[in-house]
Amino acid sequence: MFLVLLLCINIIIIPIFFVILKCFIAFLKDQPAIQMTPEYYIDNIEQVKISWNNISDVYILELKNSFLKVAVIDEEVVYSQAKNFLYKYMFSRNASNGGILSVNLSFLKGKNKNIVNSIIDYRQKILNL
């Protein structure tokens, strides 16, 4: 029973607390959750910059909440920017759902589909697709 409780804490409680903490820190710094520059997609919650050339897909994952998911070609680029083991653990959990970077869409302004389409359109414009 004790091992089950520890497993639940490890799998459920710690990641949820970690995400809330990261979002709160970004809020205190008055940072947007994501930024798009001509060079990078920047996730300020995860503190990761990804070149547009390394992004393979952007989509919505519907669970209890809706998540913006970003899949990359070379996941090592993301893992190399991880600040500690907990970040690497969260990235590996996200990668199991297909997109290594994940942002709760409730943290972004706008309609979910419009947000994702804006990112896809921006990426296509930058890469001349």
User: What DSSP line would sit under 88-108, residue for residue?
Assistant: HHHHHHHHTTT-SEEEEGGGS
The CATH number that applies at residue 38 is: 2.30.29
Domains held by the chain: number: 1
Which structural domain range is residue 40 located in? 2-127
pLDDT score at 105: 84
Instruction: Return d(Cα 57, Cα 41) in angstroms, integer.
Output: 12
Instruction: Extract long-range pairs of 120-125: CB within 8 Å, 24+ residues apart.
Output: 120/58, 122/36, 123/41, 123/52, 123/55, 123/58
pLDDT score at 7: 58
pLDDT score at 123: 94
Residue range 70-111, pLDDT digits in tens: 999 998 888 888 877 767 777 777 777 667 788 888 878 889
The pLDDT-based confidence of 125 (bands split at 50, 70, 90) is: very high
pLDDT score at 28: 74
Which residue did the predictor score with more confidence, 52 or 78?
Answer: 52
Which residue did the predictor score with more confidence, 123 or 87?
Answer: 123
Residue range 5-49, pLDDT digits in tens: 555 555 555 666 666 666 667 667 777 889 999 999 998 888 899
> For residue 107, what are the CA distances in angstroms to 15, 47, 53, 74, 85?
17, 15, 25, 26, 24
